Amino acid sequence: YKVQSFTLPTLICRKTGRMFLVASHFLDVLKSFGPLPDDIEEKIKYARWKAADIVKAINEGRQPSTQTS
């Protein structure tokens, strides 16, 4: 997973947040082919949460959370 390699604190930027958001949208599209396994649903939730956390942290001038879920 390419996005996971960008979660190091030194590499966090708006582009990283955008990558998490794009990943969640891509995984959402897969729903059109049928129900998704629970692990994929969790990845969608995590990608959305991480994208929001990154953008919010940048706007507040702090480091994003290093929590993985």
CB 53 within 8 A of CB 65: yes
Is the confidence at residue 2, as pLDDT, over 60?
A: no
Answering whether pTM is above 0.85, one says no
Tokens of 49: 């949460």
pLDDT tens-place string over residues 10-62: 567 888 899 999 999 999 999 999 999 999 999 999 999 999 999 999 888 88
Question: Which residues lie below 8 Å from residue 58, measured CB to CB, with a gap of 6+?
Answer: 12, 13, 14, 17, 64
Residue 5, pLDDT score: 52
